[in-house]
Amino acid sequence: MARALMAALAPLGPVVVASELRTLDMAGDAGVQAGLIATARAEAARLVQVLPGDLRVWVTYHNYYKAPDLIGPAVCAARGIPYVQIESTRAKKRLSGAWAGFAAAAEAASDAAAVIFYLTRRDGETLERDRVAGQRLVWLPPFLPVSELPAASTLAAGAPMLAAGMMRSGDKLASYRMIAEALALLDGAWSLEIAGDGPARGEVAALLAPFGAGVRFLGQLDAAEMAAAYGRAGLFLWPGVNEAFGMVYLEAQAAGLPVVAQDRPGVREVLASPGVPVAAGAWGLAEAVAALGDPVRRATVGAAGREFVGARHLLGHATAVLAEGLA
């Protein structure tokens, strides 16, 4: 997403990566946090001296309690330029505990922002709750880093379903488990291709082993290979267990694929057809897949998704939203 944001900002003026300092503490280590705060203080002082004199705005992506922006507010205060955040999250419950210092820094950084762009309505609600006087909140819909839609899938009869997700423990594995449960409920002939790899590959393979040749593992795909997979598929199946939103849903709809996913906050915001996401676990997924066996419905839902992505989830729309928010 960071690269996509740079591409969206590029038409508005030169974009430079000001610093490569990574202020991330995944373990909640007070010593690590103290060291990063000291390093960031020195980095901010350096940047005040070396950054171009015509710097117009500072933009920080994804400020949160494990990786607060320890640089941007200080640079902006010294230079007298606007400070802006994109996809920041508030977590005041973290102001005590292992990340207390970093959480306080993240909150202070968010308080310093003149504008915060948020990607999901849930984040928007939290940001509104803690918004400081004069701060603007702007909804930036998640977007693909392309200006035009790709070629559409033909949704040919007998085309495979497609799933795509990293293979790791936790929520991703839970999505694969739900897929396996849904497949067991399907009647008739079907096939599924899976794009993705990871440390839980063995567990995913075991979950899907009962379906034999009906499931084909594609491994980790590059962008061109992924586009080809979308192009030959008949629908996209990914439950999205506990996901805020997923770029794969936008990619699939851009290719004209109907999407079957759980009905949950974030996910439903990037789906065109409210009748397709389901809340009833594996049974709901299986019912949605079965309904999309109707070629007319499949084509209608796929076309609606493609139109939806083209209207507000491509690079041009993101640039327009950013331009208006930064004006």
Backbone angles phi, psi at 59, to 5 degrees: -120, 125
Q: What is the mean pLDDT of the chain?
A: 95
CATH superfamily entry for domain 161-312:
Glycogen Phosphorylase B; (3.40.50.2000)
CB atoms within 10 A of CB 326: 18
Q: What is the pTM of this model?
A: 0.92
Q: What does each C-alpha distance from 230 to 61, 154, 257 come to in angstroms?
A: 29, 10, 7
Domain parsing of the chain, residue ranges: 2-140, 161-312
pLDDT of 307 higher than 70: yes
Instruction: Place 2 in a pLDDT band, splitting at 50, 70 and 90.
Output: confident
pLDDT of 39 higher than 70: yes
**Residues 48-55: what's their mean pLDDT?**
95
> What is the C-alpha to C-alpha distance for residues 226 and 220, in angstroms, rounded to an integer?
9
Helix (H) / strand (E) element for 163: namely strand 161-164
Specify the amino acid at residue 294. D
pLDDT in tens, 166-218: 999 999 999 999 999 999 999 999 999 999 999 999 999 999 999 999 999 99
pLDDT of 67 higher than 80: yes
Say if CB 185 and CB 283 are below 8 A apart: yes
**Residues 254-261: what's their mean pLDDT?**
96
**Residues 258-284: what's their mean pLDDT?**
83
Share of the chain above pLDDT 70, in %: 98
> What is the C-alpha to C-alpha distance for residues 261 and 149, in angstroms, rounded to an integer?
22
Instruction: Place 231 in a pLDDT band, splitting at 50, 70 and 90.
Output: very high
Is 71 in a helix, a strand, or coil? coil
